[in-house]
A and B are shown apart, each in its own frame.
Chain A
């Protein structure tokens, strides 16, 4: 941004001014408006899940637990997990940023099935209402993993309502996945070959394949769970003829690929931002693209690594251990490629780039600690402790949520037509990075020392590290409230955004900010490879 700002006039018409009635929003089939509906919904859930997280950390300040009742604590961490996984992390990037930019990046007017897109939001809202209902009437205390026979025969909570909520949310996921797959196949602009697509589209494609193939397995598993709980049909409980490990196999067959549903879109966002703020073509485009696809495939073959101490056979543990190392290889390749992209670039440090660099750092720590729990004998000691909690929060929160914020800041000018305040954006990125590490790094040590997860109270020798973690959580909470405040402020007072504030490549930057309902005046023709940033002599001349 140059120092002397020329006020960009607001576009005469945009998708935001195309109708002001409630009906024009609630019955819209415009992917951009649906993206905003989703953004509002998942923000609410992020804060519900966040409040539960804050109360968890509050409880763990003292060894005997600040919250008197263990049952309340158990319900809190279950709600935290359920809300964050199914109502924030899985949908976050695809249904908001993906919904908004996929047609724009492809040079299309909308997704292939606009009405299905709206229907998926309604399904999500119904699921959300059922989830909030189960929360308000008392919640569940099974953990988000719903292990049987605890969940089917012993737990007193509102298991069925919660499970129904997740079941409905699954249909929303499948609808979105299907929509993206068909759109990417059918609605690419003339000249937009597969290898001219931005990496973000490849990532969402891989994500969508997992959503469509894995979510039905979760749906079936949840049906079996409800049948056993209500009708006592012996599926999982050995006391009535079931198999206690069957549930874990089925659950993780969905839930491990779902981990990649959460992180792959993040990889896509980072792959857009690093080249844009390094003014350089992405390093190893085809490697990054095929890494996304291979992650999607291998992710279906690693579920057993959640069960190394569960009582599965020796050979199954060996096979799942080596496959888990295999799935880590493409992630490592991506990290090297992002760093390669920055090499010899012209790097600017706007907020999206700071979030993206934070992502690389935190995701690398999350990935490396994944190697600990993939190593069989180390997993035996570390699994089911705070080490695992820290590991997946580094990937899911440090990685995924950072990527979500990176993408939100990057496309914010396009989505709202307003710039966010840059200094606040940078401050937010920094505070989140610091707060995150303070919260979760101590948990690696707690885990090595043996502190089990899901404990309402703990032996006194773990107190110092828990206090440290809780203190970090207050900084992290402040870090997450900051963007809520300044992004909301920018909606009304932010500087008007030009069509392409970052001088980035990609068709979404060729139309006005915010775009009008039809996206483009005429269908764009694509003649260039992706990330076609000018050679460095030209950039230097420009700078």
Chain B
């Protein structure tokens, strides 16, 4: 039996400090509560003739004291837990992106270089990594206890999770959101490797096609290029009759939508554009983009997004 869990990321020790602080506070409160209970049960047992003196008539001072003490302690814990959570919530911009797709009952992983894994995720040490996750069916949850993180994986949208691994090793991956019959089989290995080992692994598992290259083929096959132009240069430039926005260089920039919102064109934005185009219409363009909901698999979709991401900004000629 091990009562110890590896701390394999930069944030894991911070989560542990918080949990250990909570354990200490709990032990102190329990000692107080059980101590007083046992003391009073002994001292003031019915048979004991100990002098009870006179009872306090006014109790509000005590009430105020323990109410305020509780409030202050709780507020401190809130700030501590929230501060760490906020940092865990926001991935750094230079994070390496890896795609995760959950389905009953397996995890599929796609690396940017086209390497694919099932129920395993190989990672380099010391680099911030952002997982972009979605589900093909029900809600799953990507949980790595050794990293002290987890996040639900929802159908119909991208959720993200980021971390920076600090210890080489193999750790458990669990699905922790009940997802049907073989929920307990939806597990895998998280393999943290040194940089050189990881490069070697990428090479050995490399395919001829990176995600972006595969995405280019799909961009043609799904007919995206018909309106957005070959290489995503935009409808009007390519001579198409349909006026569709140019995609080259769009990734990461801000876009003004027809309803006035200004959004950042990230993975989530492109996904919604393909599946729910009416909600993401770009200002100044007609609502002609058809929805691809139900027409395109999650894997194809993220390849197309990887392709769009790879398109360099259009050079002014």
Contacts and interface: CB of A to CB of B under 8 A. Distances in A.
A321 B78 contact: yes
Contacts of A74: 178, 180-181, 183
A375 B86 contact: no
A377 B1 contact: no
B260 interface: no
B139 A371 contact: no
Interface in A353-397: 357, 360-361, 364-365, 368-369, 371-372, 374-385
B104 interface: yes
Contacts of B156: 238-239, 244
B118 interface: no
Contacts of A328: 70, 74
A167 to B, nearest CB: 22
Interface in B147-162: 148-152, 154-157, 159
Nearest to B50: A344
Interface in A431-446: 445
Interface stretch (A4-12, A112-120, A139-147): A139-147
Interface in A142-158: 142-143, 145, 147, 149-150, 153-155
Interface in A201-244: 237-239, 244
Interface string A303-315: 0000011110010
A310 B142 CA distance: 11
A360 B37 contact: yes
B3 A449 contact: yes
Contacts of B22: 368, 371-372, 375, 378
Interface string B169-189: 000101111111111110100
Interface string A248-287: 0000000000000000000000000000001111011001
A164 interface: no
B81 A456 contact: no
B40 A384 contact: no
A347 B37 contact: no
Nearest to A543: B46
Contacts of B184: 70, 452, 454-458
B212 interface: no
Interface string B1-26: 11101000000001100110010011
Interface residues of B, number: 81
Contacts of A194: none
B30 A368 contact: yes
A380 B180 contact: no
A384 B157 contact: no
A329 B19 contact: no
B267 interface: no
Nearest to B160: A311
Contact of A149 (B53, B155, B183, B293): B155
A186 interface: no
Given A150-B139, A360-B37, A449-B145, A371 B178 contact: no
Given A309-B151, A314-B86, A340 B59 contact: yes
Interface stretch (B60-68, B218-226, B244-252): B60-68
A372 B86 CA distance: 17
Contacts of B261: none
A297 B271 CA distance: 40
Contacts of B33: 335, 339, 360-361, 364
Interface stretch (A34-42, A45-53, A459-467): A459-467
B137 interface: yes
- Identify which of A335, A343, A377, A461 gathers the most chain B CB atoms within 10 Å of its CB: A377
B280 interface: no
B36 interface: yes
Contacts of A458: 184
Nearest to B84: A377
B81 A376 contact: yes
Contacts of A357: 37, 41
A-B pairs with lowest CB-CB distance, top 8: A450-B145, A238-B156, A375-B81, A376-B85, A377-B84, A384-B176, A464-B1, A325-B74
Interface of B: 1-3, 5, 14-15, 18-19, 22, 25-26, 29-30, 33-34, 36-37, 40-41, 44-47, 49, 52-53, 55, 59, 62-63, 66-67, 70-71, 74-75, 77-78, 80-86, 88-89, 104, 137-139, 141, 143, 145-146, 148-152, 154-157, 159, 172, 174-185, 187, 293-294
19 contacts: A154-B104, A237-B155, A239-B155, A244-B154, A280-B55, A281-B55, A311-B152, A311-B159, A333-B63, A344-B44, A345-B52, A364-B29, A364-B30, A365-B26, A375-B78, A381-B15, A381-B148, A384-B141, A458-B184
Given A71-B181, A543-B47, 11 more contacts: A74-B180, A239-B294, A244-B156, A333-B63, A347-B44, A365-B26, A448-B5, A454-B183, A455-B174, A457-B185, A458-B184
